[in-house]
Amino acid sequence: MSLLPPTLSYCVVNTNGREYLLACLAAIERTHPAGVEHETIVIDNASEDGSAEAVRGLGGDIRLIALERRTGKAENDSTLMREASGKYCLLLNEDSELRPGATAALIAALDADPEAAAATAKLLDSGGNPVPSAWRFPGVGTAAIGALFLHRRFTVQSVGGTTRPVDWAQSSALMVRREAAAAVGYMDPAFFVYYDECDFAKRLADAGRHSLYVPTAEAVHHDQLSTDLAKGLPRIVEFHRNRDLYMRKHHGPVAALAVRVLTAWPYALRALAATVLPKRSARIMWAHTRQALLPGRGESLRDRAQGVRASSSMRSTS
C-alpha cells in the first residue's frame, strides 16, 4: 500500500437515494482512470431506505460516514472535504453518474491551471441532453437579464466545446482543489441546500481563485425531484430563501430586495402563461412568485429536517 496521500477523493452525499447511490458508486469504479490513487467516501444523510446498509454490503475500500441526524448539503460537502486526504475532491450527488473519461479530464484541467480552485463537468439529464451547470454570479444585473428572459443567453456559462473560466458551477459533479477549499473555510453551513456552491465559488473568487467548465468531462445528473407541489414546496422555499441569503451576504439588503422583485416578475408571467398552456403548472409558478417576493415565509427543507430531528429527540426521551 502506498504511504503517499491519494490524488483524488471521491466525495458522495446521499439522502434516501439508495438505487441512485449504488449506480453512482458503480460509475466511479467503471470510469476511474488507471494509475490514479484514490479513495471513496460516502456520507449517508440519515437515510431511511437502507442506503447505509447497501454501502456496507458492497465491501471494498469505501469509507461510510452514516449520520444519525440530517444535515445540509453544504455542511455535508464540507465534512467530506475535511475528512478527505486527496489533492482533489470530486463532489458528487448520489444521483450523479460519471461518464468515461470525465474524472481524467477534470484532473487534467486543474493540473493545467494551478490558479483554478474547482472544475465542473458538463451535466446531462437522464435522456443524455445537456443541461446548464455553470452561471454568472447572481446580482441585480443577472436578475434583470432573467426578468427579460435572456438568462440562457447571457447568464449561463456552461457553453462551448473548450474548457473556460466560469463564475460558479453546480456541485453535482464538481472537482475541488482541497487546499483552496480549506483556505476559505470550505462551504458555509448557513446554506442548507441551493446557493451553497455559489457562495463557495464567490469566496474562492474573492480570494483570487477561479472555477472552470470542462465540457470534455461529462456526468449524468438524474432529476429525481418530485414536481408535486405538496412535496416540492419546501424545495421552492429553500431555493428562494438561500438566493436571498446569498444576496444579503454579498451585496446587501437593498440589492437583495431588488433581486426579489426582478425574480418574481418572470415567474408571475410564467404562471399566467401556464393557465392556458398544456403541461405547465400554474400553481408551481405562483409558488415560486410568492417565495421570490417573500423568501422568509413557508417551511423550507431545513425547517422540515429540524422538525424531523425535534420529533426524533422527543421520541427518544419519552
Q: Which of 212, 235, 206 is nearest to 305 (CA)?
A: 235
Average pLDDT over residues 147-168: 96
Q: Return the H-helix or E-strand segment holding 56.
A: helix 51-58
Domains and CATH numbers, the chain: 8-143+155-221 (3.90.550.10), 229-309 (no CATH)
Mean pLDDT for all residues in the chain: 92
Predicted structure pTM score: 0.91
pLDDT of residue 279: 64
Average pLDDT, stretch 56-72?
93
Tens digit of each residue's pLDDT (9 = 90 or more) over 34-56: 999 999 999 999 999 999 999 99
60-to-5, 55, 56, 63, 89 alpha-carbon distances in Å: 18, 10, 9, 9, 20
Q: Which residue has the cell 464567490?
A: 202
Closest CA to 9 of 105, 65, 84: 84
3-state secondary structure of 113: coil
Sequence-ordered strand ranges (E) for 45-199: 63-66, 88-93, 96-98, 116-124, 130-131, 134-135, 164-166, 168-169, 173-177
146: left (phi over 0), alpha (psi -120 to 50) or beta: alpha
Reported as a single tens digit per residue, the pLDDT across 291-315 is 999 999 999 999 988 774 444 443 3
